Amino acid sequence: MAEAESAAVAAVEPLWSWAVDAWQWGRRNLDDPVGPLLAEHVLLSYASVLIGLALAVPLGVLCVRFRAVYAPILGGVNALYAIPSLALFFLLLPYTAFSPWTAVIPLAVYTLAILVPNVVDGLDQVPHHVRQAAVAMGFGPLRRLLRVELPVAVPVIIAGLRVASVATISMVSVASLVGLGGLGGLILTYGFARDFAAPVVVGIALSVALAFATDGLLVLAQRALTPWAR
């Protein structure tokens, strides 16, 4: 038993040491580089998801109104999703240089593969009698969409938004290979490049924390937008 306890302590001790070193390094370097890189990660992630959502909603509505275009649109966004992100980053460099758009455009495009089907599924789940009631009340197509169909579809849309947000937060780090990437810079530039574990641990921990925080905010947003579902 004593040998087992000693072995367990010996196995845990390096992990504890890494955690302590990471905490101390992160606290000492919060102003620079941890804070600015975290802010950049949030900016790139949220901008990509919001732009993707702004594109996915009209595309989803178009697919519901005209079913013939659904298969080509879905095939197109899936084909774009299959392109490696690093390749898109380098393809955009001659046009966007090292601006945030180099990361935001590919990441926003990738969210479409998740968000467009969710928008379509959400609108498809609006009961027919609800639409008919809106028509009977004199709602036009646009007013019916904004006041009835999209609110009913919110739970399904936000479910896709949660998946897209977490995926985007994890993919932003790849952009550090072209000089962007937020917390990916901690992992590559300050961690692997210097053979130093503390920045790697800090970068991974903050990425995971950001993903959990974003998912929690989306859950709260869904509760606020759908009070009838409580």
Instruction: Output the six-digit token pair for 138.
Output: 């004199």
The pLDDT, as a whole number, for residue 165 is 96
Q: Average pLDDT for residues 215-221, to the nearest whole number?
A: 95
Q: What is the dihedral of CA 112, 118, 119, 123, to 10 degrees?
A: 160
Instruction: Output the six-digit token pair for 10.
Output: 């010996």
Q: Average pLDDT for residues 101-107, to the nearest whole number?
A: 92
Q: Which residues of 190-204 are buried (b: 16+ CB within 10 A; e: fewer)?
A: bbeeeeebbbbbbbb
**Contact assessment for residue 83 and residue 115, using Cβ atoms and an 8 Å cutoff:** no
Q: Model's pTM, two decimal places?
A: 0.88
The pLDDT, as a whole number, for residue 15 is 66
The model's pLDDT over 173-206, given as tens digits with 9 standing for 90+, comes to: 888 878 777 888 888 888 777 777 888 888 889 9
Specify the residue for token string 């950049």. 40
Q: Average pLDDT for residues 148-162, to the nearest whole number?
A: 93
Instruction: Output the six-digit token pair for 13.
Output: 């001790």
Instruction: Output the six-digit token pair for 59.
Output: 């595309």
**Contact assessment for residue 114 and residue 171, using Cβ atoms and an 8 Å cutoff:** no
Give residue 13's pLDDT band: very low, low, confident or very high (50, 70, 90): low
Q: What is the percentage of the chain residues whose pLDDT exceeds 70?
A: 92
The pLDDT, as a whole number, for residue 8 is 45
